[in-house]
Structure 1
Amino acid sequence: MVPPVQSDLRVLIVDDQSMIRGGFEALLNAQEGIEVVGTAADGAGITEVVGRTRPDVVLMDIRMPHVGGLDATRAVLAMPGTPPRIIMLTTFDADEYVFAALRAGASGFLLKDSTPQELVHAVRVVAAGESLLAPRVTRALIADFVGRPERAAHPEAMLSVLTERELDVLRLVARGLANREIAGELFMAEQTVKTHVSRMLSKLALRDRTQLVVAAYESGLVRAGQ
């Protein structure tokens, strides 16, 4: 369940299609507790726009002319202070740029043909600090790492700060399991799983669950087919 929102969530929409921008803006502005504070047609000057509008969440199209979503995402997440959370917008569920964006720190992705309910849910979930990573994207992310020779051979170097129990939880997070499913697998309370996830994020200085998945595969802790 998404935690209740105490104040208006500020959303910035970045997409080169005016109909997408207008449609998303009208839909989100009609929701209680959400305000669209700006729109942009591409990633040019994105840091200035973010600095001026101070959004909590950015809906960022991946494929745009001039400055695309991937470069814009990197620029936003490199800004000082606490950057907004970024949801990538794409028309393809296996878009190669999605995975690069997730590695760069985006909090998730959303297909442009998602339902209005899915769009609103995505904004609230990501603003609440969760990641938005569907199981099919997790599987594609795994496949993407299969062919990467630079994966670490010894996960202990990257994950040495984690306890054995945290590593158990991380392996299941990397498989795309939800907290409730992990609790069932490891015979522990769901709240205990949440605590382990929070501690791992803190220890590894990661932003959200999506980056935990990336870390698990980049470290070599988990490999495709396990």
Structure 2
Amino acid sequence: MIGSTEARTTNSMPYPKKTSETIEQVAKKFYAKSQFAATALAAFGTPSLSFCSILAIELASLLMTLVRKGIIEARTYHIVYAFSLFIMFPCLVATIHSGDELAEMAAFRGLTACALAVDLRLTYGFSKYITWAISIVGGYFLVDMLCPVMGVTVFKWFFAWPGMMWSAADTLRSFYNVKDKSWSNEGAAQQAETEKKADMDPQPAGDEGHATKEEVAKGSFPYVTPSLG
């Protein structure tokens, strides 16, 4: 829904019932970054990059419709959608190593625009209009200024590849931190449950009929030996 912060794609995505809120936030961040890349590559990329980008964007709507109609599960939605986003990566790698300088420059512009958009939108919270206005213009002119000075090869290995690797590492680190945190929480919950059960368990059968010192002190009374005389 246009203008809605709740019904837009990343916020209205269905998730499996047992998915924690933290994992949802990490997944949404990954999807948001991927959508920035798809939009930037659709604007600047080669026809193949633009097609892959639009494929993921359009496929999301179709998958959501299938989930709402009960045809597929939420888990299937995320698997297929994540794969449709991933196929942009090998296509992007093939483009920047194609040897076609024009195609490589187009990919560099898309990557630069994506990096600017992610930083402006997710880190600094700029509006989407300001974000894309700066990113589109900046992505175009930064590449056109830097590539002639340092060369396409240098830009490829010292800017494009490090940027892609950093983005992938950031996503993996986020998922790892969430997984490690969930394991810690699960271990703490199991320990608390074990301690609770131990406190509620009755005394062992062998101890039945044996009063404790406290019980003797509270409930006993002086015993007087009967006199026979």
TM-score, normalisation: structure 1: 0.24
Which of the pair is proportionally richer in helix? Answer: 2
TM-score, normalisation: structure 2: 0.24
